[in-house]
Homo-oligomer: A and B are copies of this chain.
Amino acid sequence: MILKSQVEWALHCCAILSGLPEGRYLSTKALAELHGLPKEYLSKALQSLSQAGLVHTTLGPSGGYRLARPPAEVSFLDIVEAVEGSGRTFVCNNIRANNPCRPKGFCDTGPCAVARVMWQADEAWRNTLRGVTMADLGQTLSQEIPPDIWSGTFAWVLKRAG
């Protein structure tokens, strides 16, 4: 059970978009070059973000993506769910209902005990991701990346931002 690599891509792209000045846009091409990713396929991940309403887009030259909300209002969970879907990692096929010792329909009253525990773990996972935003990530990054490299990347992005 491994998350798609698109999740990683989307997170890093949103991190970059978080540093983009108000009203500027960054294209798929620029994001792909910056991360060394296949442009066409990265585009699919960005489309997922768009459909989820996390980013805003414009067409034409100088077009591209920007965050649709302030970085403090975009959580890891938002991004992960946009790409990976919001379904649970554990699917209960209710195999307890196949137990020949149980009357038909007996197991229709609610989710089984096994599923409840697994879903509880899912919730713990989600809660952690819900608690970290792009603003938090930006703060962390700005602290652990040397100022010259940080501003170098910033300049690189601005040169390509429409």
Residues of A with Cβ closer than 8 Å to B? 1-5, 7-9, 11-12, 15, 33-37, 76, 84, 87, 89-93, 95-96, 98-103, 106, 113-114, 117-118, 120-122, 124-129, 132, 137, 140-141, 144, 149, 152-153, 156
Question: Which one of B95, B102, B127 lies within 8 Å of A8 (CB-CB)?
Answer: B95
Least Cβ distance of A95 to chain B in Å? 5
Contact B15 A114 (CB under 8 A): yes
Contacts of A113 in B (CB 8 A): 137, 140-141, 144
Contacts of A144 in B (CB 8 A): 113
Contact A95 B127 (CB under 8 A): no
Question: Which one of B4, B101, B117, B149 lies within 8 Å of A76 (CB-CB)?
Answer: B117
